[in-house]
């Protein structure tokens, strides 16, 4: 059994550019039960299970981050709910929410909601109070095309199950030219009628996906202008811990968020790092530089983990290098490897 104790002091997390790191995203699996066209190739080769960290190792590393000042953790994938016993991890980390002197303000999850009808209750009981659901269209045929395999009905049932369990739901919608760029007003209205916030996201050049992303790219500035003609949008200073900028939707009292890594760089306020299911800590989504926390915890315990974290923060770049027009993806790994 690995020990959660460390002789090293719980030093804070400050990167080489003076930014305080308070947000950890953890991919608990690279596997997913969908094959969204902008995220994955149709035929994916996933990591062998032997390459993954155990949930115990993930928990110990996460708890070390909490001791050093992380206040928000998001569990993601792939699809986190396809990993067996993930609720046990949620339950363990959920015990750190609102604890003092060091604890989490929030434990959240990003999911495609295909399994949420089954898991909503257990997740709520384990400490999840808010989730992001990836949903790019409300049209069943388009949904199946975008995801290649998905059943929209299962997703909508999962969303309702989460709401019934008392979990706040935010919808994440990736803007895709020719697939859903005519549906932003309808999605905003659908969310508003149900009291759900909506965040729109520009597609990011990560991993080979069988398609040309430049054909699907939609700049969110133009999208915002279209929505502002139809809804009363006023700037909101709300921050969720991530990169989104928010507006209040006057007709519904909900929020619209925009994540625009390509047309509206947000790196100057970056407060996050990402831990993959195989133990790689990425200090930047748009760079391949990483440290191996799985090797560190197995060889030297949490003291070695601390040293590796410090090295990663010192090397954290000032900004990402995303360019949708580049001939190759900015990074070779898929988003499902790093975690959304």
Residues in the chain: 340
Annotated domain spans of the chain = 23-338
Quick one: fold of 23-338?
Answer: TIM Barrel (3.20.20)
State residue 282 phi and psi, 5-degree precision. Answer: -100, 125
pTM of the model: 0.87
Burial of 28 (0-12, 13-18, 19+ CB in 10 A): buried
The pLDDT profile of the chain, 340 residues, written as one tens digit per residue, is 454 544 445 578 999 889 999 999 999 999 999 999 888 888 888 999 999 999 999 999 999 999 999 999 999 999 999 999 999 999 999 999 987 677 999 999 999 999 999 999 999 999 999 999 999 999 999 999 999 999 999 999 999 999 999 999 999 999 999 999 999 999 999 999 999 999 999 886 645 545 655 677 898 999 999 999 999 999 998 876 667 899 999 999 999 999 886 555 556 778 899 999 999 999 887 678 899 999 999 999 999 999 999 999 998 887 655 444 554 445 555 555 666 5
Q: Is 38 annotated for ligand binding?
A: yes
Q: Is 174 annotated for ligand binding?
A: no
Q: Are 53 and 27 in contact (CB under 8 A)?
A: no
Q: Is 32 annotated for ligand binding?
A: yes
Q: Is 39 annotated for ligand binding?
A: yes
pLDDT tens-digit map of 282-332: 988 767 889 999 999 999 999 999 999 999 999 888 765 544 455 444 555
Please list, in sequence order, all residues whose beta carbon lies within 8 angstroms of the beta carbon of residue 122, skipping any fewer than 6 positions away. 87
Q: Is 148 annotated for ligand binding?
A: no
Q: Is 273 annotated for ligand binding?
A: yes
Q: Is 78 annotated for ligand binding?
A: yes
Q: Is 191 annotated for ligand binding?
A: no
Q: Are 111 and 64 in contact (CB under 8 A)?
A: no
Cis peptide before 259 (omega within 30 of 0): no
Terminus-to-terminus CA distance in the chain, angstroms? Answer: 30
Q: How many CB atoms lie within 10 A of CB 255?
A: 21
Please list, in sequence order, all residues whose beta carbon lies within 8 angstroms of the beta carbon of residue 161, skipping any fewer than 6 positions away. 116, 117, 120, 121
User: What is residue 33's predicted lDDT score, i.e. its pLDDT?
Assistant: 95
Give 192-236 as a DSSP string. Answer: HHTT-EEEEEE---BS--SS-GGGT---HHHHHHHHHHHS-EEEE
User: What is residue 205's predicted lDDT score, i.e. its pLDDT?
Assistant: 62
- H or E stretch covering 335: helix 335-338
User: What is residue 63's predicted lDDT score, i.e. its pLDDT?
Assistant: 97
Tokens describing residue 39: 């995220």
Q: Is 154 annotated for ligand binding?
A: no
Q: Is 25 annotated for ligand binding?
A: yes
- H or E stretch covering 168: strand 168-175
* Among the listed residues 193, 115, 196, 191, the one whose alpha carbon sits nearest the alpha carbon of residue 151: 115
Q: Is 291 annotated for ligand binding?
A: no
């Amino acid at each position: 059994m690995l020990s959660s104790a460390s002789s090293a002091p719980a030093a804070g997390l400050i990167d080489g550019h003076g930014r305080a790191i308070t947000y950890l995203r953890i991919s608990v699996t690279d596997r997913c039960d969908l094959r969204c066209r902008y995220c994955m190739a149709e035929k994916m080769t996933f990591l062998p299970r032997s390459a993954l960290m155990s949930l115990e190792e993930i928990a110990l590393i996460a708890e070390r981050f909490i001791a050093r000042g992380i206040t928000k953790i998001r569990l993601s994938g792939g699809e986190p709910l396809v990993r067996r016993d993930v609720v046990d991890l949620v339950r363990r980390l959920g015990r750190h929410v609102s604890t003092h002197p060091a604890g989490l303000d929030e434990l959240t999850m990003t999911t495609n909601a295909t399994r949420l009808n089954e898991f909503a209750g257990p997740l709520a009981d384990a400490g999840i109070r808010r989730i992001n659901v990836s949903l790019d269209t409300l049209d069943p045929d388009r949904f199946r095309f975008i995801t290649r395999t998905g059943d929209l009905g299962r997703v909508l049932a999962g969303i309702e199950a989460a709401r019934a369990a008392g979990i706040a739901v935010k919808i994440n919608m990736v803007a895709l030219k020719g697939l859903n760029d005519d549906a932003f007003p309808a999605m905003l209205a659908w969310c508003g009628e149900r009291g759900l916030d909506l965040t729109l996201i520009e597609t990011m050049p990560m991993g080979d996906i069988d398609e040309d992303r430049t054909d699907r790219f939609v700049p969110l500035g133009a999208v915002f202008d279209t929505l502002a003609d139809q809804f009363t949008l006023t700037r909101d200073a709300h921050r969720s811990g991530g990169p989104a900028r928010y507006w209040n939707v006057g007709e519904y009292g909900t929020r619209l968020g925009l994540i625009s890594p390509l047309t509206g760089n947000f790196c100057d306020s970056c407060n996050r790092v990402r831990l993959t299911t195989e133990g790689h800590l990425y200090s930047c989504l748009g760079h391949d530089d990483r440290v191996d926390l799985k090797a560190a915890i197995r060889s030297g315990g949490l003291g070695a983990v601390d040293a590796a974290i410090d090295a990663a923060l010192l090397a954290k770049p000032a900004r990402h290098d995303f360019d949708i027009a580049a001939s190759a993806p900015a990074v070779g790994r898929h988003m499902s490897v790093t975690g959304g």
